[in-house]
Amino acid sequence: MAPSNPNPRNAPSNKYTPAHGRHIEIAARVADDYETSRTRDRIAYLVLGGAAMAMVIASGYGFRIGDFAALRDVWTVAGPFAGAIVGYYFHRSRRDSL
């Protein structure tokens, strides 16, 4: 029969044990990411909505004057932001639900 080991520091599962001092129990609180996720979603919707509104205004302006350079300029600025947001939310490895 194997001898029992009452000291948790000397347990075989503890590969590295402190040489001095005593064992300290640390109770970690798991942070809920729901509020952070909601805030991030709201910011993303605000950026995408603002970009869409700017593109609608620029396309109306372009239709009125017959030149769509303003729409191209708006898309040049808003496109990378929209791509980054869409790439984040529709990435293959993302596992949480919106």
Closest CA to 82 of 53, 55, 44: 44
Read off the tokens for 11. Answer: 């347990």
Q: Are 54 and 78 in contact (CB under 8 A)?
A: yes
Secondary structure of residue 61 in the 3-state scheme: helix
Query: What pTM, to 2 d.p., does this model score?
Result: 0.58
Residues 6+ apart with CB under 8 A from 78: 51, 54, 55
Read off the tokens for 1. Answer: 């029969």
Residue 19 has a pLDDT of 60
Instruction: Give the model confidence (pLDDT) of 60-90 as tens digits.
Output: 999 999 999 999 999 999 999 999 998 888 8
Instruction: Give the model confidence (pLDDT) of 10-42 as tens digits.
Output: 666 666 665 666 666 665 554 556 667 788 889
